[in-house]
Amino acid sequence: MTGPRSNGRLTVCPTPIGNLEDITLRALDALRSADLIASEDTRRTRILLERHGIAARPIAIHDRNERSAVKGILERVAGGEHVVLVSDAGTPVVSDPGYLLVRACIEASIEVEVLPGPTAVTTALVLSGLPADSFRFTGFLPRRSGDLERLFTETRDTLVAFESPRRISESMRVLAALDPERQVVVCRELTKLHEEAVRGSAGEVAERFALDEARGEITVVIAPPREATADFDEAATAVSDLVAAGAKPRSAAKVIASLTGVRANDLYAASGTRDSDAQAGSPDGSPARGGDSD
């Protein structure tokens, strides 16, 4: 059984990943109303607070002290205070501290509020121009070559990951050795003055970073393997053929998924898109005629 809910609450508050203007009104309200701000990097948080005229002194909660800090913070929330959790940038818990605090509050039946806001994951994914309908976020790329090879080989979706500027050259070298034509976008310093998106094949990107030392914060986006894209296109075409023959889209997607291993939900979504495209015009290519307006 869980105990009664306290009047206090924990607000998980995303902060800008670069440009300090990328903060929401709700986030500013939360920071202004907080009894306590728990921050991964108090120096960076104070810069943000001062920029927006918020007089508060955040306390530190980071990888090294999270376990010991949770008890004291939890006591304050349980006592009725409003605690706001921020990371050094972006959304807390996503490859940043905060998971233990969120879990502790949930287990204590304390209200947890999560605000939407900046994250380098989706920013880089959209900027990459690579398929975004199905993607895998893996945090920081593994350090060991064997683990990297398994990740690059086994991942069938678009892959999004953080990487150190000191290691991006080696990571791209490993990928280029496996699949030199695989498309990659290395996003650097997102939303900042020197934002850059380096695009190309794995071979081209590996060559670029072997020659030029990377700087700043990096999010890398890697396209699915070419055979995975081809498998999906063939499976989606098969679903469309079954639908054209009279099958229901969801049933057709399930049948083709069982035969190909492609996910049924993805095939069903694709079949709806293709059906809409087909209905947009008549067989001879002229626009479809709608019903009478009166």
**151 pLDDT higher than 80:** yes
Confidence bin at 281 (pLDDT 50/70/90): very low
Least confident of 132-141, 183-192, 263-272: 263-272
Q: How far apart are CA 208 and CA 235, in angstroms?
A: 36
Quote the DSSP letter at residue 225.
Answer: P
Q: Average per-residue pLDDT in the chain?
A: 88
Strand locations in the chain (E): 9-12, 36-39, 59-60, 82-86, 111-114, 135-140, 158-163, 183-188, 196-201, 218-222
What mean pLDDT is predicted for residues 220-247? 84
> What's the confidence (pLDDT) of residue 69?
93
Instruction: Write out pLDDT tens, residues 163-178.
Output: 999 999 999 999 999 9
Length of the chain measured in residues: 294
Confidence bin at 286 (pLDDT 50/70/90): very low
Q: How many CA atoms lie within 13 A of 214 on its CB side?
A: 29
Least confident of 5-19, 101-115, 183-197: 5-19
What mean pLDDT is predicted for residues 100-118? 96
Give the strand order in the sheet containing 36-39: 59-60, 36-39, 82-86, 9-12, 111-114
Give the residue with greater pLDDT, 292 vs 8: 8
> What's the confidence (pLDDT) of residue 3?
47
**272 pLDDT higher than 90:** no
> What's the confidence (pLDDT) of residue 127?
97
> What's the confidence (pLDDT) of residue 2?
47
Q: Which residues contact 173 (CB under 8 A, 6 or more apart)?
A: 206, 210
Instruction: State both tokens at 115.
Output: 């605000």
Of 46, 40, 25, nearest to 115 (Cα)? 25
Longest dimension (CA), the chain: 71
What mean pLDDT is predicted for residues 267-282? 58
Quote the DSSP letter at residue 257.
Answer: H
Q: How far apart are CA 251 and CA 239, in angstroms?
A: 9
Find tokens 């090294």 and name the residue: 64
Least confident of 187-196, 216-225, 248-257, 275-284: 275-284
Least confident of 81-85, 109-113, 132-136, 230-234: 230-234
Amino acid at 27: A
What mean pLDDT is predicted for residues 28-47? 96
CA-CA-CA-CA torsion sign (246, 252, 253, 256)? negative
